[in-house]
Structure 1
Amino acid sequence: MSEQRKPAEEYVVIRHKPGYRLRRTALLVMFTVVAAVAGYAAGLAQGGFRFSTAEASRERLQEKVTTLEADYREARQKLVSLERGKLIDEQALHQARKIIVDLETRVGKLNSDLTFYKNIMAPSETSEGLQVDRFSLTSNRQPGQYDFKLVLTQVGNNKSYISGVVAVNLIGMRAEEKEVIALRDLSQDIENLGVKFRFRYFQDVEGKLTLPDGFEPLEVQVVAQAKGRKASQAERTFDWIDLTES
């Protein structure tokens, strides 16, 4: 009696990909966080925080801060878990860390904006009425050129509008002599010595300025004068070094 032959055994060759599953998990984490940030950016593009009242803006900001902080905590937990496994490749780890830094920056910015609205709606007793909130500078690509932004606020009583004019002067040295130059003479975006304003909560004044040759700026002086029933004056001086180093 002949012996029954067994069927030949078959072997399947599967390519081994070290760290493939963990890299895929890391990418899913990054896509989740990027989607959350993209949603936030889309919100800004469609109107951002420009709501009808500062109170509504503050509440919306608080919701955005809470959401981003939750995404940040989740991403941190997943990153720590992946790092402990020590199997994630360097590229995925680098991308994850960049996303964490971006989230930290966005949360910090939102918290700053939230504080801004809180100060308007719930001021201290010594800071009510017309205020020079901030003046910022951003260096342009061309030497001696800067983007500037001035923010005026009405703190406390926001039921009616406040109006008036604000003047900005740069104080510095040229040829070893003190010199005061009006912002109007440094910026094509400013036509008058006094820029008119009218707002309930806050107003921005933005543009570009170019420093003249040989002029060394030391300070920026801002004087805002309200007229009418809310007549008042707010003045603030900013150190040039502080503005350009921040």
Structure 2
Amino acid sequence: MLLVLGGVAGLAYQQGGNGIAEGLARLQSGGKDRVTDLEMERNELKRELEMVRQAAEVDREALLAIKDQIKTMQSERLKMEEELAFLRGIVSTSSKKQVLRIQNFKLQQGLEAQQYVYKYTVSQVINSGSVVKGKIEMTITGLKGEKTVNLQLKQLSEEKLESHKMRFRYFQNVEGKLRIPTDFQPAKVKIEVKPTGSKLAPVDAAFEWSPVS
């Protein structure tokens, strides 16, 4: 009787052990499967995150491109408005005595110390139609110490110009470079247009010395 009970107990223990082992195996297998699933989910989330990041980068670049395009359009519009104003000035016939004009004076700091670049346009009304000849002189007024002095173009021109030669039918763009002495403080620029012949009267204009960088 005891032998039978012992055999039954041993069999039950063996079967119980086998059941536990099988349970552990199933748990281990299921755990591996779960880990695999979690790994796949993690990789999928990483891919989605990368897609979102790339989309955000594209949106940011697109926004920057749009901003640059707007700036370009605004710059072009301003340039067109300036050109339109210039052309209106050329075709204007409101003044019969003064048919020559000095327009669009600009002064910029140069690449070197005490260097300045100037630009402006001289024009006549289209109705005149004749070729304008002559010269253009420049005078810079300012302070040297406590004394007001006038310096001529030939004293400041990097190109060693005494004046600009003038020859045009409708308009002429004028530009050059100035080298300002360190002990001189410019205040104003005076431009004098002196045509040859008696058909056109001389013209002059004064501008504040206000260079832009």
Distance 2:161 2:71 in 1: 41
1:163 counterpart residue number: 133
Contact 1:155 1:201 (8 Å CA) reproduced: yes
Q: Which has the higher contact order (CA 8 A, sep 6+)?
A: 2
Letter of the 2:164 partner, please give it. V
Give the drift of 1:229.
4.2
**Does 2:65 correspond to 1:95?**
yes
2:88 counterpart residue number: 118
Q: Among 168, 171, 195, which residue is 1:199 paired with?
A: 168
Contact 2:141 2:186 (8 Å CA) reproduced: yes
**Does 2:178 correspond to 1:216?**
no
**Does 2:143 correspond to 1:109?**
no
Moved more, 217-226 or 126-135: 126-135
Q: For 1:151, what is the secondary structure of its paired residue?
A: strand
Distance 2:121 2:138 in 1: 12
2:206 counterpart residue number: 237
**Does 2:181 correspond to 1:181?**
no
Give the drift of 1:141.
2.4
Letter of the 2:192 partner, please give it. V
Q: For 2:52, what is the secondary structure of its paired residue?
A: coil
Distance 2:119 2:113 in 1: 18
Contact 1:129 1:156 (8 Å CA) reproduced: no
Distance 1:153 1:180 in 2: 26
1:225 counterpart residue number: 194
TM-score by structure 2 length? 0.69
Distance 1:182 1:154 in 2: 25
Aligned length: 167
**Cα deviation digits, residues 133-176 of structure 1 (max 9, x gap):** 23211111222111111311112424211111111000000021
Contact 1:172 1:178 (8 Å CA) reproduced: yes
Give the drift of 1:109.
0.8
CA RMSD of aligned residues (A): 2.5
1:130 counterpart residue number: 100
Unaligned runs of 5+ in 1: 1-12, 25-87
Distance 2:133 2:146 in 1: 38
Unaligned runs of 5+ in 2: 1-42
1:74 counterpart residue number: none
Distance 1:210 1:140 in 2: 9
1:18 counterpart residue number: 52
2:111 counterpart residue number: 141
TM-score by structure 1 length? 0.60
Distance 1:118 1:202 in 2: 13
Contact 2:134 2:166 (8 Å CA) reproduced: yes
